[in-house]
Amino acid sequence: MFQYSLRAAAAALVLAGVAISSSQGLAQTHAPSPDPFWNVPDIGSLPDDDQGRLVRRGRDLITATYAHIGPGVADPAKRYAGNNLACRNCHLDAGAKKFGNPLWGLLGQFPQYDAEQGEAISLEQRLNACMTRSMNGRPLPADAPEMRAMVAYIAFLSSGVRPGETLTGYGAGHMPELDRAADPQRGREIFQRTCVACHGANGEGLRRDASVADLGYMVPPLWGPDSFNDGAGMNRLTTIANFVHFNMPNGVSYVLPRLSPEEAWDVAAFVVSQPRPQKADLDKDFPDRLRKPVDAPYGPYADGFSREQHVYGPFGPIREELARLKAARGPKPAP
């Protein structure tokens, strides 16, 4: 009970946009620009016409995915997601936060070659990669009203972005790598100190109030049956370590990270060492194995390194071996 109220209080502060101070010192990082948010157009200023309503609906789907297409919604035909996460749990500030996996400016970037699929994919297909992996569910049809709404919202976030324009802040950031393997044991201690208050001792997160039939989380789970599956981008060490470094405890940004890079790598190693849903047919990903990311946590691999090293690093030696294999293969026509 005490544990619950403590975490509810912590989460309430989060909702108020206040980062909880931890026992850690502040990591010294200098940022290129002081603004952690993309200057998104004001959604409330859209007219109340069909397009305006579609964009608002898309934003709702991103911020409260579980309430519209989650596994607990009344209509079984709408249960596309397999967990009760929301897109915004990883696409922070509904896709508007720099290095919080932003969703702005994407419209002009698709179709785009995707190494995982080995072909060019549309924005809808990319979104469905998150539906089947991050959301552990099934793909939305391209013409489903929910798909159209989310794409309309993502398109809205690209307002004013010229085709080919280079923006900064994409992905989850790039901190220096370790020259040793990231260590889940050290990570467990950092987790106890820095994450447990919000995410819970078993990474189970904190549900909203079920008595008012709210299906989602105040703090999302990090592993276990209601989390993202093992094929998700967040299950790759580099992605989750950078995301945590630049965004966690919730409320920090790249302007002033809280965890040192070393702490972020180790705590990420602890999270990816925990159990989560498994996706079928992952061996079919990355048909060109030389283009498989060094930290893909599942085989088969083109190089001779162990799965363990692909999961925890160090990645430098793997990268060198892949470069050697690519050079030996010779030039390959660009896809």
Q: Which residue has the tokens 């709408």?
A: 78
Of the pair 223, 301, the CB lying nearest ligand HEC is at: 223
SS3 content of the chain, % helix, strand, coil (to 5): 40, 5, 55
- 182 forms part of the interface with ligand HEC (CB under 6 A): no
- 233 forms part of the interface with ligand HEC (CB under 6 A): yes
Q: Which of 57, 59, 65, 269 is close enough to bind ligand HEC by CB under 6 A?
A: 65
- 10 forms part of the interface with ligand HEC (CB under 6 A): yes
- 219 forms part of the interface with ligand HEC (CB under 6 A): yes
In angstroms, give the least distance from the CB of 261 to ligand HEC.
12
Q: Which of 57, 68, 126, 310 is close enough to bind ligand HEC by CB under 6 A?
A: 126
Q: What is the total residue count of the chain?
A: 335
Q: Which of 132, 136, 194, 229 is close enough to bind ligand HEC by CB under 6 A?
A: 194
**Which positions from 270 to 289 touch ligand HEC by CB under 6 A, shown as an x/- string?**
-x------------------
Whether the link from the prior residue into 277 is cis, omega within 30° of 0, is no
Residue whose C-alpha is closest to residue 135's, from 127, 144, 143, 147 = 127
Q: Where are the alpha helices (DSSP H) in the chain?
A: 2-15, 50-63, 65-69, 92-95, 123-132, 145-156, 184-194, 196-199, 237-247, 261-272, 307-312, 316-329
Secondary structure of residue 250 in the 3-state scheme:
strand
Residue whose C-alpha is closest to residue 317's, from 171, 186, 177 = 177
Residues that bind ligand HEC (CB under 6 A): 10, 14, 20, 62, 65, 85, 87-92, 101, 103, 106, 126-127, 130-131, 134-135, 150, 170, 194-195, 197-199, 219-222, 228, 232-234, 239-240, 243-244, 248-250, 259, 267, 271
